[in-house]
């Protein structure tokens, strides 16, 4: 399991760094809601393990491990992901052992398992819609990334409060933050491969927000050019430049940037409704803005 995780994340150190930053979300939400960050240790562990499992499943789905050595093959990645799912479930049982969290442990565990099921439906949607429409893209992204981050923030806050308004605020903050994470990942995935040609680039581009937007609004002749270039990008580096040009000319990039601003505003509004200002709340705000700023500047 350790080999599969290491091989999956080492080449993508930027993403790994952001994952380390995100792992503080449950503790920060717990603290901002009036608790102590260490109350959320079990939730943080389970949430982190769930992310690692889902990421391995995504790597298999995206065929990122096709050229990997035997010890990091898809079959081993699936085996590791299965173990991680059960490890996440086991980590949650520690909530029953703490005086501060034992009363809400069963509720938090049920919340996790419900989110697991919703995320599985998103994963299934990803498999059955390799070329999603705009509506399908948002539905899949909500089920996978939105639900995941909503869970982490809501579960952390629920260890400190049962105020429905407060919990809804943190839940919605996490939801919109999760959508932002996926949209920004799409922006990153659309960058030209450093070696010119990457056989996995076309698969990721086909599932990205700009291409989903193009499929929904582009005129038929422009869309035909885009689809041809997506096919050609597997063996011709100039096709990638053509794709990026078509997306830019057709307004897909402007749409993506508008959605980033929209979900940022919704995330910050939800955070404002959750609680008065506190150091932990300010750290949540900083984390959100830092994530957006770093990705937009990089791209």
| Angular region, 251: left φ>0, alpha ψ -120 to 50, beta rest | left
* Residue range 8-18: mean pLDDT, rounded: 45
User: Per-residue pLDDT for 208 more than 90?
Assistant: yes
Written as one string, the DSSP assignment of 185-243 is: HHHHHTSPPTTS--TTHHHHHHTSHHHHHHHHHS-HHHHHHHHHHHHHTTT-HHHHHHH
* Residue range 65-92: mean pLDDT, rounded: 78
> To 5 degrees, how large is the angle CA 230–CA 235–CA 239?
45
pTM over 0.85: yes
Structural domains in the chain, sorted by start: 2-298 (1.10.600.10)
Report the pLDDT value the prediction gives residue 5, as an integer from 0 to 100.
Answer: 37
- The rounded distance, in Å, linking the Cα atoms of 31 and 14 is 27
Output DSSP code: residue 102.
G
The answer to whether the CB of 141 falls within 8 A of the CB of 121 is no
The answer to whether the CB of 4 falls within 8 A of the CB of 76 is yes
- The rounded distance, in Å, linking the Cα atoms of 228 and 222 is 10
- The rounded distance, in Å, linking the Cα atoms of 64 and 74 is 9
Task: Find the Cα–Cα–Cα–Cα dihedral 198, 199, 203, 209, rounded to 10°.
Answer: 10
**95: confidence class by pLDDT, cuts 50, 70, 90:** very high
- The pLDDT tens digits of the residues spanning 148-165 come to 999 999 999 999 999 999
Q: Which residues contact 125 (CB under 8 A, 6 or more apart)?
A: 132, 136, 139, 140, 143
* Residue range 79-95: mean pLDDT, rounded: 92
**3: confidence class by pLDDT, cuts 50, 70, 90:** very low
Q: Which residues contact 291 (CB under 8 A, 6 or more apart)?
A: 18, 21, 177, 180, 181, 184
Report the percent of the chain where pLDDT is more than 90.
59
């Amino acid at each position: 399991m350790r080999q599969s995780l290491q091989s999956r994340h080492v080449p993508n150190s930027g993403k790994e760094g952001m994952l380390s930053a995100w792992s503080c979300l449950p503790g920060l939400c717990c603290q901002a809601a009036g608790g102590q960050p260490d109350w959320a240790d079990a939730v943080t562990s389970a949430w982190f393990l769930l992310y690692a499992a889902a990421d391995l499943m995504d790597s298999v789905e995206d065929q990122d491990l096709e050229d990997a050595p035997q010890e990091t093959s898809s079959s081993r990645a699936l085996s590791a992901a299965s173990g991680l799912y059960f490890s996440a479930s086991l980590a949650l049982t520690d909530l029953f052992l703490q005086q501060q969290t034992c009363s809400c442990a069963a509720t938090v565990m049920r919340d996790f398992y419900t989110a697991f099921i919703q995320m599985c439906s998103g994963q299934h949607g990803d498999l059955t819609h390799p070329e999603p429409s705009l509506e399908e893209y948002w539905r899949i992204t909500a089920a996978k990334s939105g639900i995941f981050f909503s869970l982490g923030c809501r579960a952390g806050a629920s260890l400190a409060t049962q105020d429905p308004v407060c919990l809804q605020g943190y839940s919605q903050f996490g939801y919109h933050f999760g959508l932002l994470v996926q949209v920004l990942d799409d922006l990153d995935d659309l960058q030209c491969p450093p070696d010119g040609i990457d056989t996995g680039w076309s698969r990721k581009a086909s599932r990205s927000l700009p291409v989903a937007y193009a499929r929904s609004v582009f005129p038929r002749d422009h869309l035909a050019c885009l689809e041809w270039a997506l096919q050609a990008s597997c063996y011709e580096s100039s096709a990638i430049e053509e794709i990026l040009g078509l997306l830019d000319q057709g307004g897909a990039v402007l749409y993506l940037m508008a959605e980033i601003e929209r979900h940022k505003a919704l995330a910050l509004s939800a955070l404002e409704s959750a609680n008065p200002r506190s150091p932990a709340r300010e750290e949540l705000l900083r984390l959100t803005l830092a994530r957006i700023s770093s990705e937009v500047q990089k791209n």
